[in-house]
Structure 1
Amino acid sequence: MSASPHAGSPRSGLPRTDEVPHPSQWALYHINIYARWLIRRRFDVRLHETANIPKTGPVVFASNHIGIIDGPLLAIFTPRPVHALTKLEMFEHWFLGPFLRWAGQIPLYRFGSDPAAVKMALRVLHDGNAMGIYPEGTRGAGDLAHFNRGAAYLALASGAPVVPVTMFGSRDPGGGISSLPHKGAVIDICYGEPFRVERVGWPRTREQVGHVSGLLQKHMLVQQDHAMALTGRELPGPLPTEENDD
């Protein structure tokens, strides 16, 4: 699917990211094969329709978010190394923080604008690599009912295609916010048809971003329905009412 909002400026290049460091890449390129082997000793991870993933060039993977292991699954099993925007709080842990940076993930402040995270994400795309983002912004039912604009912004700013990702099985039905699926659980990761939008230079208006975000949400819902039909799976439902991913 594609969308073509009017490009209001001839300056259609990416924002300047020359001085922004690219996140670490070594771990993503060298240890994923071992990480996959370890994870598959506990879970049955299955990938679907990976032919929808562009083999080269910048790409944004936009995933639903149902379980605590969605991020590692996206980064480790996606055929292309993924630098995912990850909530800042996880980087504040004494061990997990350095590990996430070593693994090439990008800290994101979720409760306001975060220019540093945006610039680093655009640097990844500028260099022709893959970004990961969770438009829902938090773990939950995974039904895309709540949909933030970050994925649409990255697509507009870079011209990178957005590949929808639907996760099934990374949280058991009724499972809590930090629960792992049961041992032997089948985890399906479905890659949908890319959503493409024409790159728009500065200034990008709120109306443009909102319009494209709405189109992207509809596209991802269609792809999620297709993933359900393909796998015969259902989403796990909402988190227990007393839990939320602050």
Structure 2
Amino acid sequence: MSSEQSMDSEHTSEPATPHHAGFKYAVGRMIATPLARAIYRPRIEGRENVPMTGAVILASNHLSFIDSMAIPVAAPRPVHFLAKSSYFEGTGFKGAVSREFFTSVGAIPVRRGAGQAALDALDQQRQLLEEGLAVALYPEGTRSTDGRLYRGRTGVAFLALQTGAPVVPVGLIGTDRVMPVGAKMPSLSERISVRFGKPLDLSKHGAANSGRARRLATDEIMAAIHALSEQELAGVYNEPPAATPIDKIRQALPHERR
């Protein structure tokens, strides 16, 4: 099957939008998806690998702000992702536009951070999966600014092992050229590729409460993403520079990145 085969030629019977998605998302998907396809003409491979019903995690590399738009546009079913709560809390006309846009593309607000904030985000994602929805997550944790693929954090594997949801690896190519870090508007002269791999059943690695199982499952996810994205491997975690001596010690010590 050609990588540029029309997306409308397969999975033509898209499932109904889940109740959780709401009217705004249904309308937004109906308008934004064909518009984005017409403008960017994305090359899409492996849509048949995405289960059309039930909980599923789309685990992707992360190169650009528009990744969270590219995946829902390319996927054959509604996909949800977590977005910074600040996108939903602005005031005035600009705040209203931001709020309506992110709601319409399936974003769900979350307060990002470490500790309890990170646990709350995992819990929100677990609830979405328990509703039988598809969620998009980035095991690297944050965008790659140099184009390399960084080590995966174990949160995605934890959710998969905890909920039993299959993981579909996703390789995004070219989104960093369409909208590089720092750019205010996407380029219209570049094309992107979205590759969906075969679903991964990670249950063979063990239970979610096993650190070894989470690490092995994460490594399997990242190997599948790497095969699709063909990025250079960084071999380290994508972490911001340590701001304090305590942060330097924390990053140097062996601990599980979630």
- Rounded Cα–Cα distance in structure 2 between residues aligned with 1:169 and 1:203: 34
Q: Structure 2: which 5+ residue stretches go unaligned?
A: 1-18, 233-239, 242-258
Normalised TM-score (structure 2): 0.68
Report which of the two has the higher share of strand.
Answer: 1
Q: Which amino acid aligns with 2:108?
A: I
Identify if the C-alpha distance between structure 1 residues 176 and 132 changes in structure 2 by more than 3 Å, giving closer, same or farther: closer
- Rounded Cα–Cα distance in structure 2 between residues aligned with 1:98 and 1:183: 23
1:124 match: 128
Q: Which amino acid aligns with 2:197?
A: G
Give the counterpart of 1:149 among 154, 157, 167: 154
**In the alignment, structure 1 residue 182 sits paired with structure 2 residue 187:** yes
Report sequence identity in percent. 29
Q: Structure 1: which 5+ residue stretches go unaligned?
A: 1-21, 226-233, 236-242
Give the counterpart of 1:31 among 4, 28, 31: 28
Deviation at 1:169, TM superposition (A): 2.0
Q: Which amino acid aligns with 1:168?
A: I
1:13 match: none
Identify if the C-alpha distance between structure 1 residues 26 and 116 changes in structure 2 by more than 3 Å, giving closer, same or farther: farther
2:64–2:179 CA contact under 8 A, matched in 1: no
2:142 match: 138
2:170–2:196 CA contact under 8 A, matched in 1: yes
SS of the residue corresponding to residue 216 of structure 2 reads helix
Identify if the C-alpha distance between structure 1 residues 92 and 139 changes in structure 2 by more than 3 Å, giving closer, same or farther: farther
Report which of the two has the higher share of helix.
Answer: 2
SS of the residue corresponding to residue 35 of structure 2 reads helix
1:23–1:101 CA contact under 8 A, matched in 2: no
Could you say what the CA RMSD is over the residues aligned between the two structures, in angstroms?
Answer: 3.2
Identify if the C-alpha distance between structure 1 residues 202 and 174 changes in structure 2 by more than 3 Å, giving closer, same or farther: closer
2:114 match: 112
Deviation at 1:35, TM superposition (A): 0.5
1:1-246 superposed matches below 5 A:
23-93=20-90, 94-95=95-96, 96-97=98-99, 99-101=101-103, 103-113=105-115, 114=117, 115-140=119-144, 141-172=146-177, 175-178=180-183, 180-198=185-203, 204-225=209-230
1:193–1:223 CA contact under 8 A, matched in 2: no
Identify if the C-alpha distance between structure 1 residues 201 and 90 changes in structure 2 by more than 3 Å, giving closer, same or farther: farther
2:46–2:196 CA contact under 8 A, matched in 1: yes
Identify if the C-alpha distance between structure 1 residues 102 and 50 changes in structure 2 by more than 3 Å, giving closer, same or farther: closer
Normalised TM-score (structure 1): 0.71
Higher relative contact order at CA 8 Å, sep ≥6: structure 1 or structure 2? 1
Q: Which amino acid aligns with 1:72?
A: M
2:4 match: none
Identify if the C-alpha distance between structure 1 residues 42 and 98 changes in structure 2 by more than 3 Å, giving closer, same or farther: closer
2:161–2:208 CA contact under 8 A, matched in 1: no
1:170–1:187 CA contact under 8 A, matched in 2: yes
Identify if the C-alpha distance between structure 1 residues 147 and 180 changes in structure 2 by more than 3 Å, giving closer, same or farther: farther
Identify if the C-alpha distance between structure 1 residues 211 and 110 changes in structure 2 by more than 3 Å, giving closer, same or farther: farther
Question: Number of matched residues?
Answer: 209
